[in-house]
Structure 1
Amino acid sequence: MPTNRAVSYQGPGKVEVVDIDYPTFELKDGPGVHPDNVGRKVPHGVILKTVSTNICGSDQHMVRGRTTAPEGLVLGHEITGEVVETGPDVEFVKVGDIVSVPFNIACGRCRNCKEQQTGICLNVNPERPGSAYGYVDMGGWVGGQAEYVLVPYADFNCLVFPDRDQALEKILDLTMLSDIFPTGFHGAVTAGVGVGSTVYVAGAGPVGLAAAVGAQLLGAAVVIVGDLNEGRLAQARSFGCETVDVSAGPVEDQIAQILGVPEVDCGVDAVGFEARGHGKDSAQEAPATVLNSLMAVTRAGGGLGIPGLYVTGDPGAPTEDAKEGSLSLRLGLGWAKSLSFATGQCPVMKYNRALMQAILHDKVQIAKAVNAKAIPLDQAPQGYHEFDEGAATKYVLDPNGYLGTAA
């Protein structure tokens, strides 16, 4: 049986590459595994040899110690892999298939899954609706920043690429289908972006850049991206976005300089709960700032898509209320302007096949937009560190040498 190495959270600010068990078709006890999931049989699953697996900003929240994630948790929810073994109940996914795995784990059988709400599946997490690989309070499914990983309900969850050679040729683009591209696109869709829209995307990290690409794909006339990080803003400008530096002054004033009016049709929050203040307060954490700013700059009757992560438990929050996810929102402003809000996990399967087609037929270059960089698994700690320092890079781990990055 092959060995299995994986990236593990070892406490605030620290990740290590460790040896873990090779996956089987049964959930075992371990860091973060819900007791009711221990011993759960997975005959409907497949075992993947990981082709690519990405470092996500959501992982970084845990690594910073900003969640209740237990030490030893195996990280990684952005997974692309080759099927090397199938469970006895798998009918359609075959050994040798190259597949993208949505970060949402979904059964395909509950009411929510049948209504395309796969981000809040009712059957995979005993704690609450919704689950993901390698993530805190998500049921304890082992993460995919590893050489091998188990994927349950494979016939439902796996998006099979139609041609192996084409998939490997475009793998840096296709690896974004597991999370950030659908998540950013979902933010744009739920904000109401359409042909001719003006859009403000708060946050120029990978999800924000993916939201900007998604807005362009949906026909937006102008996409404005705001951030504090000049390197990330430069990355947004590289594919045709306008930008604002939120530390340089009021966002609405900078939008007015671009559009002639201080408001946009649609707003996307790609920052989440670790947001900083704007203007002179940009050095300080102020978790409600982005949401309040978006309400201020979005026109009456507009929409907000909120793919940025907000949590129910944040031990490092600046206030007692924020530690339990209670933020000081100007909800009255949102109500008065009749704004629509959409929050929560992106239901990846709602979008990933169509976005795959856009990639395969050269309608979009998402890897270039987010500045994807492939690195070997052993360099994961360095990748986490550089990403945390603000690198304008989407780090793609190559655990098994498919991408040619292994020394």
Structure 2
Amino acid sequence: MADNRVVVYKGPGEVAVENIEYPKLEVPQEVASAMGMSVAAPHAVILKIVSTNICGSDQHMVRGRTTAPVGQTLGHEITGEIVEKGDDVQFLDVGDICSVPFNIACGRCRNCKERKTGVCLNVNPARAGSAYGYVDMGGWIGGQAEYVLVPFADFNLLKFPDREQALEKILDLTMLSDIFPTGYHGAYTAQVTTGSTVYVAGAGPVGLAAAHAAQLLGAAVVIVGDLNEERLAQARSFGCETVDVSQGPLEELIAGIVGEPEVDCAVDAVGFEASAKPGEEAPAVVLNQIQTVTRAGGSLGIPGLYVTGDPGAADPEAQEGTLKIRFGLGWAKSHAFFTGQCPVMKYNRGLMMSILHDKAQIAKAVNATVISLDEAPQGYKDFDKGAAKKYVLNPHGMIPA
């Protein structure tokens, strides 16, 4: 009997909300078989989802720009209330409200012990690293749903200290599952510090989160570049400088703001669906631009998604993730490149404290906008059109008006 509903990919440009089975305290059979673990998951909990967000990474799948099969469940940005727990969950209780890192991590492998939870070795037979509701990430059911299973719960979950306070600040706290730590990771690995001049490529939610994170880290100037004026206006709403990257060489646009054609550090929050001009896709353009405008000896944070399989790419090389990057330029300028999934657990507790004590206003920065689970298909369409909003799904009506 179907006792759960989840958002499902139905083909390029189409998602639907469908009925599925209520989750069991079991890991996916493919993970258990390949990784030598039991299907039974006494280490897991089932969450009643309080809030779950639409992410730009989901949009790549929905556009048909990954190898996601029809029927792929969606959603990896999850905040929820524990309604059931396994016998081996020791430090969490039914009723706790928790943030779920989008990285699924066992807590027991070498990488997890080194806090590299974005590349856990035990939760995905295909490669290191896993996530809820994502292609090639182990077959875990997505969290744009009413209920979801979270394995290795004692390790993975971040419990909010006070239920009433958590619900009051839920629109900020819901960003802890992915985009706030991911944006912070981009800024942190770019080595943003007091007085830095920073360029952030992309004014989508992750780019806006990176810009807000750069401010928290003490940047003197944060410049956000994009082609979408509505999104650039959102960046200006919390104190960023902005450039329309179609309006001239980026280094000249930057010089008009900081007086020189370079910044101390840069963040790529765009990824492989980058464009130099509206309608002209150029997957390596942002990687090359940030090398051009970052000073010699600077660092580049690259949280933007790059894939190994892109069937919609314009050329065969890009279809397998091979891009024409000016690596010689980066080498000559002694740049440091930081890539890959954000290890959310490295940052989420500190960012939670910043939210709870009113030091961070991430919901305002990304324009958090609440919609119902049934409105998810329209939310995907609006987001794909470039809406300057971060859509937050409210499956059980628990988000206060």
Aligning the two structures, in what range does the TM-score lie when normalised by the shorter sequence?
over 0.9
Q: Does 1:15 align with 2:15?
A: yes
Name which of 382, 388, 405 aligns with 2:384: 388
1:162 — aligned with what? 161
Partner SS for 2:306: coil
1:75, 1:143 within 8 Å by CA — same for their partners in 2? yes
Q: Does 1:258 align with 2:257?
A: yes
1:34, 1:139 within 8 Å by CA — same for their partners in 2? no
Distance of 2:144 and 2:366 partners within structure 1: 19
Per the TM alignment, residue 282 of structure 1 is displaced from its structure 2 partner at its CA by 3.9
Q: Does 1:338 align with 2:334?
A: yes
Partner SS for 2:34: helix
1:292 — aligned with what? 288
1:137 — aligned with what? 136
Distance of 1:163 and 1:86 partners within structure 2: 20
2:167, 2:400 within 8 Å by CA — same for their partners in 1? no
Query: Where in structure 2 are there 5+ consecutive unaligned residues?
Result: none
Distance of 1:371 and 1:76 partners within structure 2: 19
1:197 — aligned with what? 196
Q: Does 1:376 align with 2:375?
A: no
1:275 — aligned with what? 274
Q: Which amino acid aligns with 1:6?
A: V
- Pick closer, same or farther for the CA change 1:183–1:147 going to 2, 3 Å: same
- Pick closer, same or farther for the CA change 1:379–1:39 going to 2, 3 Å: farther
Say which is worse superposed, 64-73 or 281-290, in terms of deviation. Answer: 281-290
Cα deviation, 1:304-359, whole Å, max 9, x if unaligned, reads 00000000000000111000000000000000000000000000000000000000
Per the TM alignment, residue 126 of structure 1 is displaced from its structure 2 partner at its CA by 1.0
In the TM superposition, 1:8-407 aligns within 5 A as 8-28=8-28, 36=34, 40-277=39-276, 281-404=277-400
Distance of 1:104 and 1:33 partners within structure 2: 15
Partner SS for 1:4: strand
Partner SS for 1:321: helix
Partner SS for 2:393: strand
Partner SS for 1:20: strand
Cα deviation, 1:212-240, whole Å, max 9, x if unaligned, reads 00000000000000000000000000000
Query: Where in structure 1 are there 5+ consecutive unaligned residues?
Result: none
Partner SS for 2:281: coil
Partner SS for 2:171: helix
Per the TM alignment, residue 41 of structure 1 is displaced from its structure 2 partner at its CA by 2.4
2:168, 2:400 within 8 Å by CA — same for their partners in 1? no
- Pick closer, same or farther for the CA change 1:33–1:109 going to 2, 3 Å: closer
Distance of 1:108 and 1:33 partners within structure 2: 16
Q: Which amino acid aligns with 2:362?
A: I
2:28, 2:139 within 8 Å by CA — same for their partners in 1? no
Distance of 1:146 and 1:283 partners within structure 2: 33
Distance of 1:136 and 1:205 partners within structure 2: 21
**TM-score normalised by structure 2 residue count:** 0.98
Q: Which amino acid aligns with 2:177?
A: S
Partner SS for 1:247: coil
1:34, 1:127 within 8 Å by CA — same for their partners in 2? no
Distance of 2:83 and 2:398 partners within structure 1: 14
2:28, 2:140 within 8 Å by CA — same for their partners in 1? no
Q: Which amino acid aligns with 1:194?
A: T
- Pick closer, same or farther for the CA change 1:34–1:260 going to 2, 3 Å: farther
Q: Which amino acid aligns with 2:295?
A: R
Per the TM alignment, residue 404 of structure 1 is displaced from its structure 2 partner at its CA by 4.8
- Pick closer, same or farther for the CA change 1:395–1:307 going to 2, 3 Å: same
Distance of 2:2 and 2:398 partners within structure 1: 17
Q: Which amino acid aligns with 2:312?
A: G
Per the TM alignment, residue 361 of structure 1 is displaced from its structure 2 partner at its CA by 0.1
Distance of 1:132 and 1:28 partners within structure 2: 13
Per the TM alignment, residue 25 of structure 1 is displaced from its structure 2 partner at its CA by 1.1
2:3 — aligned with what? 3
Per the TM alignment, residue 34 of structure 1 is displaced from its structure 2 partner at its CA by 9.0
Per the TM alignment, residue 36 of structure 1 is displaced from its structure 2 partner at its CA by 3.3
2:2, 2:20 within 8 Å by CA — same for their partners in 1? no
Cα deviation, 1:97-123, whole Å, max 9, x if unaligned, reads 000000000011111011110000011
Distance of 1:67 and 1:292 partners within structure 2: 23
Distance of 2:315 and 2:206 partners within structure 1: 26
Q: Which amino acid aligns with 1:188?
A: A
1:34, 1:140 within 8 Å by CA — same for their partners in 2? no
* Identity percentage of aligned residues: 74
Q: Which amino acid aligns with 1:4?
A: N
Q: Which amino acid aligns with 1:21?
A: E
Distance of 2:315 and 2:287 partners within structure 1: 17
Partner SS for 1:91: coil
1:45, 1:152 within 8 Å by CA — same for their partners in 2? yes
Per the TM alignment, residue 43 of structure 1 is displaced from its structure 2 partner at its CA by 1.3
Q: Which amino acid aligns with 2:369?
A: K
Distance of 1:239 and 1:342 partners within structure 2: 26
Q: Which amino acid aligns with 1:267?
A: A
